[in-house]
Structure 1
Amino acid sequence: MYEVATKLEIGSQELLRRLNALGIFVRSASSTLEPADVLRVRESLKKRSTLRQASAPIPAEAPDPIEEAIRQNLGVDHLPTRVSRANRARSFPPSQGRFGDSRAPRARRQPPDPWVMRLFDSQDRQAWEAVGIHDPREAEEFLIAGITPDDRRLWGSWSVRVIKLARAAGLTQADLEPPQV
């Protein structure tokens, strides 16, 4: 019964009520239905929807007083209608651009440059990239430790922690190099 309700685009409880009104006994949404019962429900839904459409009065549009005042001030007979975003999205297929042409869709916004987000200017970025640091987070880590790109060039590929500890102990890179035999 649940599958039938989803196909008919109504709720399970609504379908249960309609089945009981047609004299078809069903206990729950997990009950099974005979194909003949499904046809009877579909026909009753079609009849009710056509009756509603036929009996529904067509509402007469009352003029909006604001629009009426604007029309009188502008001296025009009618104002252009406003299209909602939902209707605008439905009016153009996704393969077409905004104006209905088959041009490529608009380019997506590029994410911000991570170097700029971390407040590095272009010269700082070039200096860090010259010493092999291509990640702004790593460059920031060196700066927090007080290590400049020039210091990084002197220390080579040593980590931030080793450089920091060596500086605190008053050691240089040459002191940390293994002795040559």
Structure 2
Amino acid sequence: MTAKSLPVIAALAVTALAGCAGGQSSSDPGGTRFVAGDGKVQVFSAAERHQAPAIEGATIDGTTEKLATGKVYVLNFWASWCAPCRAEAPVLKDIAAKTKAAGVQFVGINFKDLQASAQAYDRRVQPGYPSIFDKTGKVLLSFQGTVPPAAIPSTLIIDSQGRIAGRALGAVKYNELLSAITKVSDE
């Protein structure tokens, strides 16, 4: 190892510690780099909510998942290679189980991943809810304007009328997410 390689190694270490997130730059107008988030849940007032796009796709286990109106959904965009996604998995699993009786349905959106890696991760974590396999990012891109196209992990709350009621960019925090979901499902 040379003295010149130390700054490069240090820069790579900082990048790795940042997880899936990094800033966008003016040389990246398409938003293909990852976007950092603080995990704070922003709940939109009813007047500010926009209709969510229609979501349907093959899950990582080969079934089909389709969102319908009349139910509150929590969508979580994740990848098996994303450290913050792995860190928030126990939070999502617990809240999904806790809110299921209230009719809240969690759906994962596995983004730009290998199907075998996503399946292995799902078997290990056992989240208790399905994940759509979105290798190309089509589902995530359908939320452009609400979720930056490279912001993972990201979580959306869809109200029973099919509108985007809440958003968190970055790994979610337990109490904040549970509170936001409860607020939307109690409407």
Q: What band does the TM-score fall into relative to the shorter chain?
A: under 0.3
* Structure whose residues are more often strand by fraction: 2
TM-score (structure 1 length as normaliser): 0.19
More helix by share: 1
> Which of the pair has the greater relative contact order for Cα pairs under 8 Å at 6+ separation?
2
